[in-house]
Amino acid sequence: MSFSPSWPQIITTLIDGDDMSVSEADWAMTQIMTGQASEAALSAFLIALRIKGETVNEVVGFRDAILEHARSVAITPQSLDIVGTGGDRFGTVNVSTMSSIVAAAAGIPVVKHGNRAASSQSGSSDVLASLGVSLELTPEQLARVFDRTGIAFIYAGHFHPGFQYAGKVRKEIGVPTVFNFLGPLCNPVRPEASAVGVAQSDRVPLIVGVFQTRGANALVFRGDEGLDELSTVGHSHIWEVTRGGVTEHDLDPRDLGIARANIEDLIGQDAAYNAQVARKVFAGDAGPVRDIVLLNAAAGLVAYDLSLDPASSETPMLERLTSKLVIAADTVDSGAAERKLAAWIGATRDEAGVVS
């Protein structure tokens, strides 16, 4: 018998507090991504799912459908994505974006997946545009930029056209939905190395679980105060996913020689301000922003090593982060991060035909 669910069946399942199978979740998200879900059905579905709570199998089904309908780009999956879920409500500067540039300057292939602001005044695409990175590129142009510079930005709004069908309903219902944390799981390149910050503690098991089902290697982390980064404000918890297993670590930045920061030291403003902060960090400015950028870049380097050699997980996390922190600092201090940003801007503008 063929599998043919319907919206009444799916919504009733959720209202009854029952979980969807992977195939049912895939069907529902496929309907959304292809514009076949009515606004009424979509609203009921998102609210019922939010009330019930998502499962790993459901998120796997959603992810599979989203990736199936994403625009493809010819970039190697042997690459790294440093990304946060957003939603931490602190409005910090663009830590993962700056850390991604540092990682790329250290020689790691980086494919960052991002969007407009989720929890700050300036999302990754906003600050990159303010820095001068051209985002309006075709998949072919993006691949050439990556080949030339070793870094690319996958703008979710361009590469997941199906998201447009959910936009109006999401805005009208005005509450967080599953879409708010799917982004880090749906990079069209499907990078084999991921360093993912998660703001909401209840979302951590879902994201860790999805990486486990992929047989992926990843670092998932959360600051104890709720930052979707490795925190310099206080302790962070790290979930290291490798070879189907999960190892948990607790991190105090002081153990790495990093002074505790105040959250106020990390607050951002609009895209222009955050871009200025990034340029200052890459120019060598010391202080709390530099510290958190280097720490998260180091996490990205650890995640990339994990993708190349899962046995690296046998080395203590503190030892790995310490060695990568030295590399990240040297990358900034040598001017390599500043040069990488300039090269990236130039490559994207060349592809976009922008005259300087």
Residues contributing to the annotated binding site for anthranilate: 84, 115, 170
Q: Distance between CA atoms of 210 and 101, rounded to whole angstroms? A: 26
Question: Judging by beta carbons within 10 Å of its beta carbon (0-12, 13-18, 19+), is residue 140 exposed, middle or buried?
Answer: exposed
Q: What's the sign of the alpha-carbon dihedral 296, 298, 300, 303?
A: negative
Please state the residue numbers annotated as binding site for 5-phospho-alpha-D-ribose 1-diphosphate: 84, 87-88, 92, 94-97, 112-120, 124
Helix (H) or strand (E) holding 84: strand 80-84
The answer to whether 228 touches 238, Cβ cutoff 8 Å, is no
Please state the residue numbers annotated as binding site for Mg(2+): 96, 228-229
DSSP 266: G
Please state the residue numbers annotated as binding site: 84, 87-88, 92, 94-97, 112-120, 124, 170, 228-229
Contacts with 231 (C-beta within 8 Å, 6 or more apart), sequence order: 223, 224, 225, 253, 292
- Three-state secondary-structure class, residue 183: helix
Q: Distance between CA atoms of 256 and 6, rounded to whole angstroms? A: 53
